[in-house]
Amino acid sequence: MKHSLPALPYQLDELAPKMSKETLEYHYGKHLQTYIDNLNKLIAGTPFEEKSLQQLVLEAEGPVFNNAAQTWNHTFFFDTLTPHQPEMPQPLADALARDFGSVEAFKEKFTQAATTLFGSGWTWLASDKDGHLSIVSEPNAGNPLKKGLKPLLVIDVWEHAYYIDYRNRRAAYIEAFWGLVNWAKVGARL
């Protein structure tokens, strides 16, 4: 299965000023494309060649896992953003309140986890098989699928996600991220 760059559900300039067109040109257009290109080269002629991206994340190790997971993670991240943020669905708000105390408490804990993740990686909101929500920070290409969890929301905290717009101010990038989350998509994943 040849993997390709997925279409974005918005134009490159629509997330500005929270996320600039230039950031998306590099982050989506170059970084993600490189992971996809590397993945296609790595799996060519191997048993992984016909596997889906999710199967690769679950089954592969080493460079194949790294490039597959980075492709999966970035695709999930970009698909969760929107220039026209909808209201949070009530079932999602209720689940966040149940497991974190309130929506605001969830945002504070998620922000803290993303801000303090050392180095590069991802912070996720995930659900277990019983529907319990948790915040999971993963270094590098980590993905909660590997732990049997269902991803609902993610923020990319690799520097390439924010350096053009925010330089080294990760906290400012995370604050802007909250204004771009497509809560309808997060709620539908619940």
Q: Phi/psi at 121 (nearest 5 deg)?
A: 165, -155
pLDDT tens, 104-130?
999 999 999 999 999 999 999 999 999
Give the per-residue pLDDT at 84.
97
Q: For all residues of the chain together, what is the average pLDDT?
A: 97
For residue 89, cis peptide bond before it (omega within 30 degrees of 0): no
Separation between Cα atoms, residue 12 and residue 22, nearest integer Å = 8
* Segment 108-113 long-range contacts (CB within 8 Å, at least 24 positions apart): 109/135, 110/135, 110/153, 110/155, 111/171, 111/174, 111/175, 111/178, 113/137
Give pTM, 2 decimals: 0.97
CB of 59 closer than 8 Å to CB of 50? no
Separation between Cα atoms, residue 77 and residue 90, nearest integer Å = 22
CB of 106 closer than 8 Å to CB of 96? yes
pLDDT tens, 126-179?
999 999 999 999 999 999 999 999 999 999 999 999 999 999 999 999 999 999
Cα-to-chain-centroid distance, residue 170: 15
Separation between Cα atoms, residue 91 and residue 105, nearest integer Å = 16
- Look at residue 1 and tell me whether its pLDDT is greater than 80: no
Q: Phi/psi at 26 (nearest 5 deg)?
A: -85, -50
